[in-house]
Structure 1
């Protein structure tokens, strides 16, 4: 590393938080979905590599939110994508979702959520850094509401650490 090199902390944080999704889903594959946990995952339907039926893409041309709770099958987690079978109008459909397409991940049972700007891709479908304002996700972790009732201290964001 030369003296002119810098660390791209924004991108490192983005990738680390996307890894939270990957590791969480990998744990579900290994151990099953524990207790009352369930996930809302929103993703861009027009993101390169998203594979879903045409009728869903037509109905949800920008983004869609899926729920992983009771009725999902064959969840598989790769390095940059995950696959899952879900039921839409009594028809089982296999979806492939790149982690870069995810715009939010929420586990409401523990009041945990992550929000992202979808990663940009180049012609080779490799992740490309976004400008500093768009590439860092907002992280929201809500604490026990009785511990901090309505005073606004139950939300932690990374916004305070961003360059302005």
Structure 2
């Protein structure tokens, strides 16, 4: 029996090549989900067990982070928005997200272009989205250092602060979603 609705091309490639930019549209839609979540949290705060891992390219044009963080994470870093952050703002027209975090007890404001984000995860519901950073065209790392400003502050307060040269590394592979499933 044949399927008259089989859209797989003769060569078996899926998805077939398209003259329409579906991949870009999907990427923009996923970024829109991330921005909607960030806007919601900026207004309402985090509810329940929700918290976010935000991964971004530190070498992307327009990223504004303290020089010591850029030196420690020259290509990519992940921040955690959970208990202690402030002034979370999403400026869609400008394509920028900004947030205040404390790193080693020092408050800093990070300004991140939306196109610099390479990942967004809400582990409380096993949601993970991945994006392609548009510029620069360097290969991305698979294991990304996670900077949990809250943990650093807690360690510092308890007198057990670790050296900045040994960042915590967490693999987000369990939360990664490569893209939409075919319908």
Name the TM-score, length of structure 2 as normaliser.
0.64
Alpha-carbon RMSD? 2.3
Q: Hey, which of these two has a bigger chunk of strand by percent?
A: 1
Counterpart among 99, 107, 117 of residue 92 in structure 1: 107
Counterpart among 41, 46, 55 of residue 59 in structure 2: 46
| Structure 2, gaps ≥5 residues long | 1-18, 138-175
Indicate how the Cα distance of structure 1 residues 120 and 108 shifts in structure 2: closer, same or farther if over 3 A, else same: same
Indicate how the Cα distance of structure 1 residues 157 and 94 shifts in structure 2: closer, same or farther if over 3 A, else same: closer
Give yes or no for the alignment of 1:36 onto 2:57: no
Given that residues 57 and 75 in structure 2 are in contact (C-alpha distance below 8 angstroms), is that contact kept between their aligned partners in structure 1?
Answer: yes
3-state DSSP of counterpart to 2:24: helix
Deviation string 1:119-156 (CA, Å, 9 cap, x unpaired) is: 237xxxxxxxx9xxxxxxxxxxxxxxxxxxxxxxxx96
* 1:70 matched residue in structure 2: 83
Deviation, 1:34, is: 0.9
| Structure 1, gaps ≥5 residues long | 1-5, 122-129, 131-154
* 1:10 matched residue in structure 2: 23
- Once residues 71 and 99 of structure 1 are traced to their aligned partners in structure 2, the CA distance between those partners, rounded to angstroms, is 22
Deviation, 1:157, is: 4.5
Give yes or no for the alignment of 1:83 onto 2:98: yes
* 1:104 matched residue in structure 2: 119
- Once residues 42 and 94 of structure 1 are traced to their aligned partners in structure 2, the CA distance between those partners, rounded to angstroms, is 16
Deviation, 1:81, is: 1.2
Equivalenced residues, count: 126
* 1:19 matched residue in structure 2: 32
3-state DSSP of counterpart to 1:109: helix
